[in-house]
Every structure is written in structure tokens, then in C-alpha cells.
């Protein structure tokens, strides 16, 4: 009854399937856990099983294959996906009322009859990027979804999801993948044994850097932040931190990732400072040498977290990153 190509989260998937089969699934679920650990694939599996020719999410039949196309469709016979778009990377009102997504909007789609033997699944990716107006438009339907309709809200920043949304959703907590699970996935994607330790250290139980280009960019950003902690001027290393205009990722998402890499560097330094073994062998020596250097990590954490919350307001990336680099000095 499960797609064998999906690795991890076995207990959660069994629990969700049991509740679907017993008609005890809550109408709005908040899938919360680290970024890139498979929350979306678990959400897709719920709808995939219903369209599978064998009704098992076999992963091989024509019904299953539509859930594995790239790019992934926004609309399936029994599922609708809503995701942030544009440079701001937010979910706009137009995506909810239908001007840019489906005729009649999400709410009307939710009230339509599902295909025979199916439910209606509405997946909201990066739910913390729902604009206030968009969220308010959804509130009533989230609170009382039509029979057979389920909202699956996915987020790696549940604290940033509007309280009115959180209060109307049941939280399903996802943890990082185990070392065995991520190694299995990495091998299947062509990673060599000699590369795995460095990749696993940066990935920390996620699949965020499964593409080698993404991993190399993450490493270059961590390296840039460490260089600034060592005293290198911002302008000398800022190129790797600034958004890539040719990327499909929204500018705000790219800046968020750059800030997350600063937090990784600061956390590793604090770990070494407290006498614990480092988790990032490729940078442990450099960060260890910074243990006794006067660095304002308190303001570094403070401004970084504030910046991550403010990114939906179209802030200027360079000035924001420069401010944080100055806060560390």
C-alpha cells in the first residue's frame, strides 16, 4: 500500500493511511518539519494511491507516473497544488481565488465532486508564505472543509504560519531522515562513497543539497560566511551569497538559504566552543580557530532570524546581507 520509491517517514505514512481508511483524517493537516525531507512526497502519496491502477501507490503504473513528472503539474484529477511564485516567493490572493490557478478558485475547486473512489486533496507548499489576505480567504474552508476534501499545508517554518491557520490545522511532525536513509537516496542519485561524508554533514538529515550544484553553492556560502567571521570584507565574498537572477527559485528563497548557511556556521562554532566534536569536518579547523575571537554571535542570530521573517517584504538582498555581516563584527 506504499510507494517503494519513497524513503523514510514510515510510521507517519502508516498512520495517515489508517486514518484515511477509517474515515478519521482531520480536514486540515499541517505537515511541519525540516526543509527537503519528503513532506511533499508523503502528501502526494495520499492522492497517488487513489489514482494508482492497483490502488497501492505501486509507483510504476500510468496512474502513479503522473505524480513523478518534472515539472510537477499544479492540478491532478484529485489534487490541487498551491506554491509560492514570483520574485517575492509568496502565495498571492490570485492563486486562491482562481485568477492564476484554476477557474473559480481553490475554494470552488474544493467543493467540486471528486473522481469516483477518490478524495479532494489541496496541497499548500511553503504554507508560511501565505499572504495575510490569502490566508484570510481560506480560513472558513480550512475550518470546515467539504466532506471528502483535505488541506495539507507543508512548512519548514511552522512558527511563521499565521496563528489563525495553525489553530485550524492538526500538526503532523516530520523529523530528519536517518543517516542510513539519506545515504540510500544519495547512492541512488549517483553520489560516490568518497563524497558522502561531506554531503551528509551539510545536509543534516535532509535532501536539500541532493543536486551537486546545490551542494556546491551551499559550501561556497558557508565558506563565505566563515571568511567574514575571519575578517574578510563583505564585498570580497558577497558574490556567492547574492541571489542568482537566472535561478527558478524566488529571490527571497535564495536569500533565506544564504542566511541558513550562516546559522550552520554559527552553530558549528558554538558546538566547538562548548567542547563538542564538530559536525562539519571540512570547516572544523577554521571555525575552531575562531573560538576565542570576539564575535557578536548574539546579534548575528538576532538579525538573521529577523531578516528571515522580513523577506516577504521585498527587502534589498545586498543591504540585508551586508547589515548582518556588520552585526557579526
Assess whether pLDDT exceeds 60 at residue 98: yes
Q: Considering only residues 44 and 142, tell me which one the structure prediction assigns the higher pLDDT.
A: 44
Average pLDDT over residues 210-225: 94
Domain 10-173: state its class.
alpha beta
Average pLDDT over residues 121-146: 89
| Strands laid side by side in the 120-124 sheet | 79-82, 120-124, 149-155, 28-32, 170-173
Q: Considering only residues 221 and 142, tell me which one the structure prediction assigns the higher pLDDT.
A: 221
Angle of the 251-273 helix axis to the 317-328 helix axis, nearest 10:
10
- Highest mean pLDDT pick, 39-53, 76-90, 185-199, 274-288: 39-53
Range in 142-151, 171-180, 209-218, 297-306 with the lowest mean pLDDT: 297-306
Average pLDDT over residues 162-186: 93
Alpha-carbon gap, residue 47 to 63, rounded angstroms: 10
Residues 19-62 pLDDT 10s: 999 999 999 999 999 999 999 999 999 999 999 999 999 999 99
Average pLDDT over residues 77-106: 77
- The confidence band for 312, taking pLDDT boundaries of 50, 70 and 90, is low
- Domains of the chain by residue range: 10-173, 211-328
Amino acid 100: pLDDT: 60
Amino acid 87: pLDDT: 62
| CA 269 to chain centroid | 25
Amino acid 228: pLDDT: 93
- The confidence band for 252, taking pLDDT boundaries of 50, 70 and 90, is confident
Assess whether pLDDT exceeds 80 at residue 241: yes
Amino acid 101: pLDDT: 65
- For residue 67, report the phi and psi dihedrals to the nearest 5 degrees: -85, 0
The helix (H) or strand (E) run that includes residue 223 is helix 212-229
Amino acid at each position: 500500500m506504499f510507494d517503494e520509491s519513497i524513503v523514510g517517514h514510515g510510521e507517519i505514512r502508516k498512520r495517515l493511511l489508517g486514518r484515511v481508511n477509517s474515515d478519521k483524517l482531520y480536514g486540515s493537516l499541517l505537515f511541519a518539519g525540516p526543509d527537503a525531507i519528503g513532506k511533499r512526497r508523503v502528501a502526494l502519496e495520499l492522492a497517488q494511491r487513489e489514482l494508482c491502477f492497483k490502488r497501492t501507490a505501486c509507483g510504476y503504473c500510468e496512474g502513479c507516473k503522473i505524480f513523478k513528472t518534472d515539472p510537477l503539474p499544479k492540478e491532478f484529477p484529485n489534487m490541487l497544488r498551491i506554491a509560492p511564485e514570483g520574485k517575492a516567493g509568496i502565495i498571492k490572493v490570485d492563486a486562491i481565488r482562481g485568477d492564476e490557478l484554476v477557474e473559480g478558485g481553490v475554494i470552488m475547486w474544493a467543493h467540486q465532486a471528486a473522481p469516483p473512489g477518490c478524495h479532494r486533496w489541496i496541497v499548500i507548499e511553503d504554507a508560511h508564505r501565505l499572504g495575510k489576505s490569502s490566508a484570510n480567504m481560506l480560513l472558513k474552508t480550512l475550518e470546515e472543509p467539504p466532506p471528502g476534501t483535505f488541506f495539507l499545508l507543508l512548512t519548514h517554518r511552522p512558527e511563521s504560519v499565521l496563528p489563525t491557520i495553525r489553530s485550524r490545522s492538526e500538526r503532523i511532525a516530520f523529523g530528519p531522515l536517518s543517516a542510513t536513509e539519506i545515504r540510500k537516496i544519495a547512492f541512488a542519485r549517483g553520489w560516490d562513497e568518497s563524497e558522502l561524508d561531506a554531503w551528509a554533514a551539510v545536509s543534516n538529515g535532509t535532501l536539500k543539497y541532493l543536486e551537486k550544484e546545490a551542494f556546491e553553492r551551499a559550501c561556497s556560502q558557508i565558506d563565505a560566511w566563515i571568511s567574514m567571521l575571519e575578517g574578510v570584507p563583505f564585498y570580497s565574498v558577497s558574490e556567492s551569497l547574492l541571489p542568482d537572477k537566472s535561478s527558478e527559485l524566488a529571490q527571497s528563497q535564495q536569500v533565506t538559504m544564504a542566511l541558513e548557511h550562516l546559522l550552520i556556521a554559527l552553530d558549528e562554532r558554538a558546538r566547538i566552543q562548548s567542547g563538542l566534536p564538530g559536525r562539519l569536518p571540512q570547516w572544523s579547523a577554521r571555525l575552531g580557530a575562531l573560538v576565542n575571537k570576539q564575535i557578536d554571535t548574539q546579534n548575528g542570530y538576532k538579525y538573521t532570524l529577523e531578516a528571515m521573517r522580513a523577506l516577504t517584504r521585498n527587502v534589498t538582498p545586498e543591504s540585508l546581507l551586508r547589515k548582518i555581516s556588520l552585526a557579526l563584527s
